[in-house]
Amino acid sequence: MLLFLSLIQITSCSVSVLTNKKTQDIKIIEAIYIAIQDFLDREDYEDLADVFEIRLLDTSKYIKFSIIPADDEIHLTKSIKPGVYSKSCPTHYIEMYGRLFIWNDPSRVITEDILQILNKYKWIDSTYVNYDVYIGGTINESPKGCIYTVSPYTMRIIKVIEL
């Protein structure tokens, strides 16, 4: 009986952790969506780029992330394919007003959908598709963009820092 109750408690804890993770993911996506709307309303950014990268900076107390123009295409290799995770390929996107906003979540895998949307924006380079890895890329040393801090409780932008 004690073993049975222990299993129920462990299962309940596991479900609670999964539910909290899912709730956190939804809040992050909602915060990003709100920030993208604000970002696109800023006149300085309307002609900046078609593809933007979102980098999650902190999600412990507030949801903090940057939005900057993406500086390099996704270079397809043998390891970048649907069903696997790669730091080199985004796993999420939001398309809004003809712009693409992409980011990576280590808990998600690459999907056919993300590869299709990247291809739509001509953001895929297939030159290295027969190689195991791609080493290279560009570094945007002075990106023009914003850092957003959003409250996960009110889902309001608390702070915007323009880069």
State the chain's mean pLDDT as an integer.
83
The token pair that represents 51 in the structure block: 């593809």
- Give me the pLDDT at residue 102, please: 96
* pLDDT at 141 (0 to 100): 65
Domain that holds residue 143: 2-162
pLDDT digits over 3-37, tens only? Answer: 333 433 443 333 444 456 678 889 999 999 999 99
Sign of the Cα torsion 114, 119, 124, 129 reads positive
Per-residue confidence band for 123, with pLDDT thresholds at 50, 70 and 90 = very high
Q: In the 3-class helix/strand/coil scheme, how is 25-90 assigned residue by residue? A: HHHHHHHHHHHHHHHHHCHHHCCCCCEEEEEEEECCCCEEEEEEECCCCEECCCCCCCCCCCCCCC
DSSP state of 140: -
First to last CA, the chain: 60
Number of separate domains in the chain = 1
Percent of the chain at pLDDT exceeding 90:
52
- Record the tokens describing residue 36, joined without a space: 């993208």
pLDDT at 46: 66
Express each pLDDT in 90-114 by its tens digit: 999 999 999 999 999 888 999 999 9
The length of the chain, given as a count of residues: 163
